[in-house]
């Protein structure tokens, strides 16, 4: 699930995970390492989130002798909490349909791939 602002993804699962990692680590750099992404990518995502909302979701302090850091703002905490709630509600609302669709699928073979179709090519139509 993604929250759009025009053509921009204002918030989605990746940004939620990044915001949560920043809250846990107090640092964009540490959050990026935790998520195995570049610092630049994390920084660009933070800038994009901050631009999309009425006020910043992440507040930053530049480094130096006392070190920098990042903190999730009150609005950032609210956005993250509401988004996680939306994810749970969405998952609950589709659970029965998802289970039904999964019941219609072929069982994976020993290699973890779908069993081959009747022609034996294993490709989807």
Look at residue 121 and tell me if it is in a domain.
no
Digit-coded pLDDT (tens) for 36-82: 999 999 999 999 999 999 999 999 988 765 677 999 999 999 999 99
Look at residue 116 and tell me if it is in a domain.
no
Q: What's the confidence (pLDDT) of residue 45? A: 98
- Nearest of 14, 29, 15, 100 to residue 60 by alpha carbon: 29
Look at residue 124 and tell me if it is in a domain.
no
Range of the domain at 77: 3-103
117 or 98, which is more confident?
Answer: 98
The domain total for the chain is 1
- The reply to whether the predicted model has a pTM over 0.85 is no
**Tokens, residue 28:** 């964009």
Look at residue 19 and tell me if it is in a domain.
yes
Mean pLDDT, the chain, rounded, equals 90
Look at residue 122 and tell me if it is in a domain.
no
> In the chain, what percentage of residues exceed pLDDT 70?
84
Look at residue 112 and tell me if it is in a domain.
no
Domain CATH for 65: 1.10.10.10
Look at residue 119 and tell me if it is in a domain.
no
Does residue 120 surpass a pLDDT of 90? no
């Amino acid at each position: 699930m993604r929250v759009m602002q025009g053509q921009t993804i204002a918030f989605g699962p990746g940004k939620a995970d990044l915001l949560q990692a920043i809250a846990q680590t107090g640092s964009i750099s540490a959050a990026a390492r935790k998520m195995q992404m570049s610092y630049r990518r994390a920084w660009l995502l933070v800038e994009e989130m901050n631009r999309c909302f009425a006020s910043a979701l992440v507040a930053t302090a530049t480094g130096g002798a006392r070190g920098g850091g990042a903190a999730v703002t009150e609005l950032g905490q609210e956005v993250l909490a509401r988004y996680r709630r939306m994810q749970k509600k969405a998952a609950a609302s589709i659970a029965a349909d998802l289970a039904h669709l999964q019941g219609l699928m072929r069982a994976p073979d020993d290699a973890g791939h779908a069993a081959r179709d009747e022609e034996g090519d294993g490709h989807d139509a």
